[in-house]
């Protein structure tokens, strides 16, 4: 019998498939279907910081970055009264999800400053969430704000929220840092239980007919996996925090690669939005079939086996492989 179990944030999971935060989790029926089709845990859609601005004096400071030069900047924020349900309804949704499901339920807070987060982190814990994911979505626009200051915002946020709850806390972060290993180490040092690599920052587009900046959402593809594979592989064994790989997980092969570089879970959303929750069953079946064919007994057996510290050529994850790739492409085009 193949053992698909893994551990993440101190939780024992029956397999590494975890749907990430998305509108799908707003429906209890969808959550039940995810569980029925094999999800081992679920991250609920996010409660946005802007929804609790009346709790946060700091938010005015962070939202004002860059608005001295761009007076219309604040108008880009959506009307959150119609965008998502409010904080109290979110807490009730956690309670209902916990009552309806037999798998761990992970709450999600999306924002950039401490503000009311510590209070709502506690309330999310009290509502029954098994863990909390902080989805830090911050775009610095202030010319005077240094990279060090941006990193400190992440560290302060992680420290403050971690100190306010007993449940495990994970940080979902982007890859726009000068030194990903260093910010990962800083977050690890303040005791976060997990790092979710990486957040996908949605890019606005230009409507040429109406001359407007418009939101734009493209679902991920497996091609996006490579960035995540590289950094999970590099960080594996160097930090204590568990790592979740998210962005580009669509197939069993994607999940296998995530496990081999050292991730504890593979998170997915685009695949579910595109193909439906029943696709989880297909991925699990393909995962088991591949492991049987290649004589793997467990997920834990393969975790980290293709990390930088384990492969025969560690430089493949660094610059040394750069010229080799370019040379191989040049040879194919001649």
Per-10-residue mean pLDDT for the chain, 334 residues long? 96 98 95 98 88 49 42 41 67 97 96 73 96 88 92 93 96 94 97 94 84 81 91 97 96 98 96 94 98 97 96 76 59 54
CB 177, CB 151: distance < 8 Å: yes
Collect all residues with Cβ–Cβ distance below 8 Å to 306 and sequence separation of at least 6. 233, 257, 260, 261
Number of independent structural domains in the chain? 1
Collect all residues with Cβ–Cβ distance below 8 Å to 69 and sequence separation of at least 6. none
pLDDT digits 0-9 by tens, 39-59:
999 999 998 866 665 444 444
Helices (H), the chain: 28-36, 58-63, 80-83, 87-100, 117-126, 147-164, 180-189, 225-235, 252-261, 270-275, 279-293, 299-302, 322-333
Rounded to whole angstroms, the Cα distance separating 290 from 158 reads 38
**Count of beta carbons in the 10 Å neighbourhood of residue 166:** 8
Q: How far is CA 259 from CA 86, 194, 247, in A?
A: 36, 15, 14
Please report whether residue 19 resides in a domain.
yes
Please report whether residue 275 resides in a domain.
yes
What share of the chain has pLDDT > 70, as a percent?
Answer: 82
Q: How far is CA 16 from CA 33, 123, 213, 309, in A?
A: 17, 27, 38, 22
| DSSP for residue 203 | P
**Count of beta carbons in the 10 Å neighbourhood of residue 246:** 26
Please report whether residue 1 resides in a domain.
no
Please report whether residue 261 resides in a domain.
yes
For residue 59, the model assigns a pLDDT of 42
Please report whether residue 35 resides in a domain.
yes
For residue 141, the model assigns a pLDDT of 83
For residue 114, the model assigns a pLDDT of 64
Q: How far is CA 233 from CA 4, 7, 25, 236, 317, in A?
A: 20, 18, 30, 5, 8
For residue 319, what are the domain limits?
6-333
Rounded to whole angstroms, the Cα distance separating 42 from 25 reads 8
Instruction: Report angle CA 117, 114, 141 to the nearest 5 degrees.
Output: 125
For 164, the token pair is 């306010």
For 73, the token pair is 């900047």
pTM of the model as a whole: 0.85
Q: Which residue shows structure tokens 């890859």?
A: 175
Rounded to whole angstroms, the Cα distance separating 212 from 181 reads 38
CB 290, CB 252: distance < 8 Å: yes
What is the full DSSP assignment across 230-258? HHHHHHTTT-SSEEEEESS--SHHHHHHH
For residue 326, the model assigns a pLDDT of 58
Collect all residues with Cβ–Cβ distance below 8 Å to 173 and sequence separation of at least 6. 136, 154, 183, 187, 195, 196, 197, 198, 199
For residue 77, give the CATH number of its domain: 3.20.20.70
- SS3 category, 296: coil
| Chain mean position to CA 251 | 17
Please report whether residue 85 resides in a domain.
yes
């Amino acid at each position: 019998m193949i053992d698909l179990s893994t551990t993440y944030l101190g939780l024992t999971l029956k397999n590494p498939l975890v749907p990430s935060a998305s509108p799908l989790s707003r429906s209890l029926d969808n959550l039940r279907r995810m569980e029925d089709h094999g999800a081992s845990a679920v991250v609920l859609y996010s409660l946005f910081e802007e929804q609790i601005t009346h709790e946060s004096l700091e938010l005015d400071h962070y939202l004002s970055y860059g608005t001295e030069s761009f007076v219309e900047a604040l108008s880009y924020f959506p009307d959150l009264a119609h965008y998502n349900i409010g904080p109290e309804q979110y807490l009730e949704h956690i309670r209902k999800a916990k009552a309806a499901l037999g798998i761990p339920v992970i709450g999600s807070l999306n924002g950039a400053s401490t503000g009311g987060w510590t209070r709502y982190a506690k309330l999310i814990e009290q509502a029954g969430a098994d863990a909390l994911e902080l989805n830090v979505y911050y775009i610095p626009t202030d010319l005077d704000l240094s990279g060090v200051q941006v990193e400190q915002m992440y560290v302060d946020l992680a420290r403050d929220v971690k100190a306010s709850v007993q449940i495990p806390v994970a940080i979902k972060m982007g890859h726009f840092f000068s030194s990903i290993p260093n910010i990962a180490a800083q977050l690890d040092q303040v005791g976060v239980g997990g790092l979710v690599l990486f957040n996908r920052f949605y890019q606005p587009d230009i409507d040429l007919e109406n001359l407007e900046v418009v939101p734009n959402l493209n679902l991920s593809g497996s091609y996006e996996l490579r960035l995540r594979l590289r950094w999970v592989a590099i960080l594996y064994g160097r930090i204590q925090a568990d790592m979740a790989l998210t962005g580009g997980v669509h197939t069993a092969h994607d999940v296998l690669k995530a496990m081999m570089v050292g991730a504890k879970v593979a998170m997915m959303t685009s695949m579910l939005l595109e193909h439906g929750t029943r696709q989880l069953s297909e991925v699990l079946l393909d995962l088991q079939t591949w492991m049987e064919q290649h004589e793997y007994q467990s997920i834990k057996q393969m975790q980290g086996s293709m990390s930088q510290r384990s492969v025969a050529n560690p430089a493949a994850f660094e610059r040394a492989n750069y010229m080799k790739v370019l040379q191989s492409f040049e040879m194919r085009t001649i």
